[in-house]
Amino acid sequence: MPMIETVNLTKKYGDFIALDNLNLSIEEGTCFGFIGPNGAGKTTTIKILATLLKPTWGEARIDGKVVGYQNHLIRPLIGYVPDFMGAYQDMTVSEYLEFFAACYGVPSAKRDRTISEVLALTDLTHKTESEVNGLSRGMQQRLAVARVLIHDPKVLLMDEPSSGLDPRARIEMRELLKELRRIGKTILISSHILSELADLCNAVGVIEQGKLAFAGALSDLMARAKVGKIVQIGVEARAEDAATLLRGVRGVSKVELVADDGSKRLDVELVPNAEVAASELAARLLAQGFRLTRLAPEEISLETAFMRLTKGLVS
């Protein structure tokens, strides 16, 4: 049974469709990256799973329990980290966590030890007596994670946890999430920093205009985003001449000149089932006196895959 599941999940605001028959299935222990343009439906999905919104129709389930009908059983299982946290004025870190430990029903005898453990995990022990509102944005986000770990939830729902963080804070947040993945938490995380999701997640979902465009393993997304077999060739000089030569090779459908760290690279797209090999392309260039600096299959990044599979539409 999936830890997180949605079945034809739909959310409407009047005639506006924020989510359109969303079907997700996320297994226990998965770190699932949820990506899409602003307004695509990511936050709406996360808020429904966090029991903060009711779907118009369809179902959302956490560990088999149905959102909207079994919220009292779901809430102990989840930790929700929004993109911005709030705190009462003049509250210290220890007071903040003590307050939420009491809200989560952590027994008094275990409270101090639990708070110490989550502070250590999030590297905030040295900030115990600091005021929450005086913390940096990065430390506040780590404190938000510490808060939701107090009751040891199975599922973490994280909406843009790295939003607004400086590079160092983003790296620290990524390492914290890797540790949470390592200890077995099921994590659903939305983010605009796609390179970090590629390093962190073992599955992704792409949502656009409220509809799911893709959900599955990261490797499957990369394979789906490939438009054909593309060979990347770097030449030391005369890139335009090299492109002209390769365009005349049978089996080559397109050659594009791409700027690559101050030099020019050739992206050579081959027709499906082309018999020409990368080695043959290289041999032809070498025979005409070109010096090669690169010869490799195209490397698809998560950013490239996202751009190829979406059109920037919102609901």
| Higher per-residue pLDDT: 300 or 192 | 192
- Model pLDDT for residues 105-156, shown as the tens digit of each residue: 899 899 999 999 999 999 999 999 999 989 988 899 899 999 999 999 999 9
Predicted pLDDT of residue 227: 54
| Higher per-residue pLDDT: 164 or 116 | 116
Per-residue pLDDT, averaged over 77-89, amounts to: 83
Assign 211 a pLDDT band (cuts: 50, 70, 90): very high
Half-sphere exposure of 235 (CA within 13 A, CB side): 25
Q: Distance (Å, rounded) from C-alpha 82 to C-alpha 205?
A: 19
Predicted pLDDT of residue 222: 67
Half-sphere exposure of 90 (CA within 13 A, CB side): 0
Asked if the model's pLDDT at residue 288 lies above 50, the reply is yes
Predicted pLDDT of residue 111: 93
Assign 314 a pLDDT band (cuts: 50, 70, 90): very low
- Model pLDDT for residues 32-68, shown as the tens digit of each residue: 999 888 888 999 999 999 999 999 999 999 999 999 9
Task: List, in sequence order, the alpha helices (H) in 127-166.
Answer: 137-149
Asked if the model's pLDDT at residue 270 lies above 60, the reply is yes
Predicted pLDDT of residue 315: 44
Residue whose entry in the numeric block shows the structure tokens 């605009």: 192
Asked if the model's pLDDT at residue 309 lies above 70, the reply is no
Any bridge partners for residue 254, and if so which?
269
Asked if the model's pLDDT at residue 190 lies above 80, the reply is yes
Report helix angle 108-121 to 93-103, nearest 10: 130
Per-residue pLDDT, averaged over 187-211, amounts to: 85
Asked if the model's pLDDT at residue 69 lies above 60, the reply is yes
Domains identified in the chain and CATH numbers: 4-222 (3.40.50.300), 227-299 (3.30.70.100)
- Model pLDDT for residues 216-266, shown as the tens digit of each residue: 887 777 666 665 577 888 888 888 988 888 888 888 888 888 877 667 788
Asked if the model's pLDDT at residue 313 lies above 70, the reply is no
| Higher per-residue pLDDT: 16 or 307 | 16
Element (H, E) at 206: strand 203-208
